[in-house]
Structure 1
Amino acid sequence: MKLTRRDFLKNSTLLTSAFVIGFHLPIKGMAAQLENKKEIIEPNAFIKIDKDNKITFLLGQVEMGQGAYTGIAMCIADELDAFWNEIIFEPAPVKDVYNIPGMPMMLTGGSMSIKTQQQRVRLVGATLRFMLKTAAAKKWKVRVYDVKTKDSYVINKRTKEKLSYGSLIDEIKNMPIPSDVKLKDKNEYNLIGKRVKRHPIEVEEKITGKAKFGIDVRLPDMKYAALVQPRVFGAKIKSYDDSIAKNMAGVLKIKQLPNEKIAVIANHWYQAKQASEAISVVWDNGEFEKISTADLEKEYKSYLGKEDLPIMKKDGDTQSAFDKAFKVVEAEYSFPFLAHAPMEPLNCTVHHQGSKAFMSVGGQFQTLYRGTAAKILGINPENVEYYNNYLGSSFGRRANLSSDFVVDAVYVAKDEAYPIMTLWTREDDIKMGYYRPMTLSHAKMAVDEKGNITAFKADLINQSLTKGTIFESMMFKDGIDKTQREGIEDHPYKIATHDLKAFSPTSPVTVLWLRSVGHTVSAPIVENIIDQAAISIGADPLDFRIKNLQNPRFTKLLENVAVQSNWYKREKNSGFGVAIAESFGSIAAYVVKVKVKVENNDYKVQNVWAAVDCGMAVNPLGIENQIEGSINFTIGYIKSAQITLTNGAVDQNNFYDYEVNRLKDAPDSIKVEIINSGEKIGGIGEVGVPPMFAAIINAIADATGKRYTKFPIKLG
């Protein structure tokens, strides 16, 4: 976790004082993942052991509070038999060897960190452990089977003599890398599957303030930049007056950026910020100045029900199924734009030095951000020294395909003589950031006399997240964004016929994935209409789901939360809701109890019972933390958060009018149970969000008798 610039330059070099081992997966685009090639172990850049027995793990994933460092380190430490408390982490340099398997880039997102890395790093640890045992056995002139490893030492089983891993560096430097090693059996794990707290070094650094986030970067002669940004989407600068600002204390330079922004560079951040507020700008706001939220809603609504919308999934005769149905239910859903509002404001520090550059950023797309910087500066990406810091949360905001805050920082620092930190204010991000798309949807479902779902029809209208980006060719096909499909096209229920459509209107409003991406709208739609269908025929909502589900993994989770919550003994209309959804390879189910406060048209989520199946729980405590965080995250977004537009500009400014969850609204109790199904390991950082949205909707409907489908939910 401690990495100086000098360390950064050295950390991929095979030093005389350290042995470095790593892995490499040959990657040729996305298709390579499907080739099922065996990973090749190479002596490159993943584990460093020095002669003092210090073990350093270079991590290609970023840590933003999700527990990736701890989870991945548990896997490597378990296979390596390294002393847990003394492992050190360093962010990896931008190199292909750290790419996500099957993807030609380094990134953190999609709940992929532990899911994609655990097998790889376990293999690395096991390989290095075997080599260390082989070296020690040779030194003692015994068989490999006569030695064992523990806490970063090789131990002679007969004599109890010990050799530190660091003392064996010279012996293994030129040793052939074994092509086939055996991973530990589950019953041999010391860490994997156990409730492990955050790694002690990470905890110490964050508690003592030693942890370095992007905003903490300090370099010699560093300057600061504040931005003047448009407030209407798509606006352009006509003219500006900086006559007052350029004469203010500490101001070094004012420059117009190519992306319709103005930067003030000063000795100190406050000086830059004060001067930016003294600049008068005349904007050409364009046609979007006439557009408000109501206008977009009207436009979106005009698309609902159109027969020529792009087809997501169509099978069977849905109209016939509706005509013959015992019961038909339908609803219209309205989801607002949502801001990510990460706690650490967006920032990026860049030092342009002719044909090379240094950049320090808390970002999720290392390869993309470095490449973007190199392109703007007109230099080779290999000449951009990229250092990644801790991220003060993200929820998707720092995984921006347009590299927006990085682009700003590079434009600001280009051709300047000193390093410059460009810092967005929270108002900048709330008012001119990237948002979870506003969505309108209409859903309809048919049920027969036996309680079988016979038809599901839905239209989904929202902006594409990937059209016009580097991911378009991979994720936008046949007029539909992959993120529109997820959770609706692949819902878990047995349904005979489908008529599912989607459309992506264009708009100057900039959009981006929010935690759990398309599932933030698909789960509320699917799980709400399922609830309606159950109630329409007098069926228990939980039993109705079990009857119509296809996969027993889902059934097991619902049965679990039913027991936890005493579902079948609950009082009728007492505010209980149930929901289940799969996302990112994992499944989560909830029962939620809400209390409606009639006197002020408010409600509170009192109790949450959760069950989650991510295949294999590497760190159950970390999983519980993520589910608890997801629950509180979702409550804020369903109760109060929304981004609205008036005359082309965002109405909200900061946390005082863009409300995330407050302590008073946190549940009184949360209980999480983990089901280890043994299936393929899934992600955990996002799976807890989608069904929580849906369970709250259903609980409010149970308590009030009214089904709210416009978000945020305001009673009355």
Structure 2
Amino acid sequence: MAGKIDRRNFLKISTAATGGLLISFVIPAPAESPTPAIAPANKFRLHPFLRIGEDNSIHISIPKVEIGQGIWTTLPMLIAEELDCDWNKIIVEHSPPGTATDYSEPILKSTGGSETTKSEFDNYRLVGATARTMLVNAAVQKFGVKASDCKTENGFVIIGEKRVPYGDLANEASLLPVPTVQLREAKDWKIIGRSKKRLDAREKLDGSAKYGIDVQFPGLLTAVVAHAPVFGGQVASFDASKAKLIKGVKQVLQIPTGIAVIADNFWAAKKGRDALIIQWKHGVHENIDTKSQLNEYRKLSTTKGIPIVQKGDCIAALKNAAKSINAEFTFPYLAHAPMEPLNCTVRISQDKCEIWAGTQSQLLHQLEVAAFLGLKPEQVEFNTPYIGGSFGRRGSFSLDWVMEAVNIAKISGQLIKLIWTREDDIQGGYYRPVYLHRVQIGVDKAGFPVAWQHTIVGQSLFVNSPLEKYIVHNGIDYSSVTTGYPYADAIPDKSFELVTTTNGVPVLAWRSVGHTHGAFVIETLIDELAALANVDPVEYRRRLLKDHPRHLAALNLAAAKAEWHKPLPQGRYRGVAVHEAMGSYVAQIAEISIENKNIRVHRVVCAIDCGVAVNPDGVIAQMEGGIVFGLTAALYGEITLEKGRVQQSNFHNYRMLRMNETPAIEVHIVPSTGKMGGAGEPGVPPIAPALANAIFAATGQRLRDLPLRLK
């Protein structure tokens, strides 16, 4: 590792202002990434740091935001593995947004793609190893001993019977040259691969964690905004006279996105907004309608799209196939619906703007706020509190809720905390797009595919975004498509095409991005092909995956743990799916029953090959959360529009999976030395097709439209 990094630029050693050893470092972007936009190989990420205090405290900053995925624990585990520190002395914080050259590629600071731990695996270990070596070298100088006479353990350098705390050596260590170090081999790991409780768990359990919505200081007012009921609508006129009569309402003003009501507290602001009388100019998007949109997509799916993959003569091969299947799949808009609604606190002074917001893209917002206010980016100070979920919603790029809050603060001259209500959030757009897939597959006499024709219709997530130049090539947004991997790889005749649509509904990446619909299409089709061939679904996949060992390992482990070939009790049925996303391979088996057309999921068995599982308990938690998240979407998730208006508004009509509906979930980690993958998102894609395949086993119905509804 040391030979791959210019250590003079990678590590910067100094004495901390409060005393101790401070190592700040840049994170080189990996040469390969499933989301290349987030990691161009010749760029650098921002400056996290490790600080060892004179009081033996271990301060670790991380350049990505903790949004529930567990990186506040996994990244410190990497440092602790090499540092031999006291785990109970670790204090974690978000690193501040960067300066200078960091702004040339602001997307590098964004959190997304389930890539934080895998991309920083070696780098954080290197920092821990460097710090430990420097502490030992400080002890060598201080006590006149050899390095071979020293060992480290639990925050101490041990020399014979002498145990010297790291804090006693930190200042001296900061004055020493940066050594070249060797990272420990996997066989010597004591922390990596062993479960650790989350370092942020106590605060989140006892209520002491401060989220963005909890920010409060003297003079702070609360703002809510009345948005147009149709995307892109504008205010024609408004009457605020009744709103201003509400006790606590301070100001009502027009901003680019609607009418803002500013009050002493949230309830007064909301009541003031309810009292507004607004005339809207709805604009061209008033005619958007879910049914007509799908009909339009249906027509587009029969037209020529942009080729994604073309091989052989697909049309001729389909004509010569022994049998074929034709299928159409539809997927609705989906809201992210994080538990903590969007919020942003803004304090503008003459030469500075302070912001408190939970966002996945601090640098991008830092730049847009600076440009708007006429400040340098360094004059926009971002504070990152605890974040109550995101699933992609806090990963928007520009002109969203942060800029809305800044607009209100600038126009009003007040200290502002903007809060979006749950209704604002559900109806505010930035959804997973609507997609339609049209597929025709031909099989040979044995029932295995020989021809595959596939057209995908949907909006692009990343056109006109900072990620466009990395993800969109020759008109193809690669986050929106599937190529039938791995099943279609060996098919001699195939055609995959994309038809990209545009409309006025803003869209955004949703947990696991294009895998949310691609996996469903591929895994339900493979199940259908297995039925057509009269072959067991697991066995059918095994034959197709014989050259894909990691898919196969996950599938075999899930099947074994679910006792796939053991008969189920009467009235119980199973379905299976296996899928690779974000570099991890996940298989899931869903066990269900159906009564009066009500689907009950009793059990889900999940197996994941993510390479090294740094914190197995964290991986298990992410799989459990992904399964619940995916089941919610499969059974209930749907945003619909009529005359341009979103029909859903809160959890009563945008349902979440409830506790009494949640199945027993078993997660098994495949022992693996394969390349590390992510864990935050890969648990989502397989569950919907596994459920749909179980429904087929129970009823004989092939459900191809989500959410799943029995006919």
Amino acid at match of 1:118: F
Q: 2:282 aligns with which of 277, 280, 285?
A: 285
Q: 2:438 aligns with which of 415, 438, 442?
A: 442
C-alpha contact 1:79 1:184 (8 A) present in aligned 2: yes
Amino acid at match of 1:474: Y
| CA shift in 2, pair 1:412/1:127, >3 Å | same
How far 1:33 moved relative to its partner?
Answer: 5.9
Give the distance between the partners of 1:239 and 1:211, measured in 2 at CA.
42
The answer for the alignment partner of 1:163 in structure 2 is 164
Give the distance between the partners of 2:103 and 2:70, measured in 1 at CA.
18
SS in 1 for 2:355: strand
The answer for the alignment partner of 1:6 in structure 2 is none
Q: 2:216 aligns with which of 194, 200, 218?
A: 218
Structure 1 runs not aligned, ≥5 long: 1-10
Q: 1:79 aligns with which of 82, 88, 100?
A: 82
How far 1:416 moved relative to its partner?
Answer: 4.6
The answer for the alignment partner of 2:574 in structure 1 is 576
Question: Is 2:298 aligned against 1:301?
Answer: yes
Deviations 1:422-481 (A, max 9, x none): 000010111123111011111121221244321221111111111111212222222221
TM-score calculated relative to the size of structure 2: 0.93
The answer for the alignment partner of 2:8 in structure 1 is none
Following superposition of structure 1 onto structure 2, how do residues 620-635 of structure 1 map, counting pairs within 5 Å?
620-635=616-631
The answer for the alignment partner of 2:6 in structure 1 is none
Following superposition of structure 1 onto structure 2, how do residues 381-420 of structure 1 map, counting pairs within 5 Å?
381-414=377-410, 416-420=412-416
How far 1:34 moved relative to its partner?
Answer: 6.8
TM-score calculated relative to the size of structure 1: 0.93
Amino acid at match of 2:22: V
Give the distance between the partners of 1:82 and 1:403, measured in 2 at CA.
43
Following superposition of structure 1 onto structure 2, how do residues 222-261 of structure 1 map, counting pairs within 5 Å?
222-258=220-256, 260-261=257-258
Give the distance between the partners of 1:97 and 1:491, measured in 2 at CA.
46
Deviations 1:237-275 (A, max 9, x none): 1111112223432222222112x3111111212111111
Deviations 1:547-568 (A, max 9, x none): 1123111112211122112212
The answer for the alignment partner of 1:512 in structure 2 is 508
SS in 1 for 2:480: helix
| CA shift in 2, pair 1:45/1:301, >3 Å | closer
Deviations 1:223-249 (A, max 9, x none): 110111111112111111112223432
The answer for the alignment partner of 1:686 in structure 2 is 681
Q: 2:370 aligns with which of 374, 381, 404?
A: 374
The answer for the alignment partner of 2:185 in structure 1 is 185
Moved more, 168-177 or 127-136: 168-177
SS in 2 for 1:690: coil
Deviations 1:505-533 (A, max 9, x none): 11111111110000000000011111111
Give the distance between the partners of 2:487 and 2:442, measured in 1 at CA.
16
| CA shift in 2, pair 1:167/1:491, >3 Å | farther
Q: 2:115 aligns with which of 107, 112, 117?
A: 112
The answer for the alignment partner of 2:261 in structure 1 is 264
C-alpha contact 2:487 2:544 (8 A) present in aligned 1: no
How far 1:305 moved relative to its partner?
Answer: 1.9
| CA shift in 2, pair 1:74/1:336, >3 Å | same
Deviations 1:172-206 (A, max 9, x none): 2221112x31112223222210122212xx22211
Deviations 1:327-377 (A, max 9, x none): 211211011111111000100111111221100101111111211211221
How far 1:492 moved relative to its partner?
Answer: 6.8
Give the distance between the partners of 2:679 and 2:49, measured in 1 at CA.
24
Q: 2:22 aligns with which of 20, 23, 40?
A: 20
Amino acid at match of 1:184: R
Amino acid at match of 1:396: G
Moved more, 341-350 or 373-382: 373-382
| CA shift in 2, pair 1:97/1:329, >3 Å | farther
Give the distance between the partners of 1:490 and 1:63, measured in 2 at CA.
32
SS in 1 for 2:74: helix
Give the distance between the partners of 2:505 and 2:207, measured in 1 at CA.
37
| CA shift in 2, pair 1:332/1:35, >3 Å | closer
Following superposition of structure 1 onto structure 2, how do residues 464-503 of structure 1 map, counting pairs within 5 Å?
464-486=460-482, 488=484, 493-503=489-499
Give the distance between the partners of 1:263 and 1:635, measured in 2 at CA.
36
| CA shift in 2, pair 1:401/1:100, >3 Å | same
Give the distance between the partners of 2:648 and 2:111, measured in 1 at CA.
29
How far 1:77 moved relative to its partner?
Answer: 1.2
Give the distance between the partners of 1:149 and 1:492, measured in 2 at CA.
52
C-alpha contact 2:553 2:609 (8 A) present in aligned 1: no
The answer for the alignment partner of 1:528 in structure 2 is 524
How far 1:35 moved relative to its partner?
Answer: 5.4
How far 1:127 moved relative to its partner?
Answer: 0.5
Structure 2 runs not aligned, ≥5 long: 1-12
SS in 1 for 2:194: coil
| CA shift in 2, pair 1:715/1:398, >3 Å | same
The CA RMSD over aligned residues, in Å, is 2.5
Give the distance between the partners of 2:380 and 2:621, measured in 1 at CA.
36
Deviations 1:114-171 (A, max 9, x none): 1122221111001100100111122121111111111111111x2x211111111221
Deviations 1:687-715 (A, max 9, x none): 01111111111110111001001111111
Following superposition of structure 1 onto structure 2, how do residues 27-66 of structure 1 map, counting pairs within 5 Å?
45-66=48-69
Question: Is 2:270 aligned against 1:273?
Answer: yes
Sequence identity of aligned pairs in percent?
38
| CA shift in 2, pair 1:51/1:487, >3 Å | farther
